[in-house]
Amino acid sequence: MTGTGSTRTVRFTAKPTSTVTRLPISGQRLTFRLDTTGNPTCSAASKASGAATCRVSVSLTADNAAQGYLTTYAGNADYLSSTAPEPES
């Protein structure tokens, strides 16, 4: 996280993996949401390494900073959808 005052740039990163092979899955779009209100969001496709990373500028409050973030994957014909909170509850 970088920035000054209450505005920060938050960097989200996730690495989807197959539950069968345990290998990273590339080319899949993940959406990151900072808090439970749905604001702000960004999305990125996983690279060959499997990592998906995006950045978003936010105005942090005690509420949204304390809630963590949520990563979602819509799924497709080959992979099931998934949602993962961080920190895990």
pLDDT tens per residue, range 23-48: 999 999 999 987 656 667 899 999 99
- 30 HSE (CA, 13 A, CB side): 28
Q: What are the residue boundaries of the structural domains of the chain, listed by start?
A: 7-86
- 26 neighbors 49 (Cβ within 8 angstroms): yes
pLDDT of residue 5: 59
Residue 27: which residues within 8 A CB-CB, separation 6 or more? 45, 46
More confident residue, 3 or 71: 71
pLDDT of residue 40: 73
pLDDT grade for 21, boundaries at 50, 70 and 90: very high
pLDDT of residue 67: 67
In a 3-state reduction of DSSP, which class is residue 42?
Answer: strand
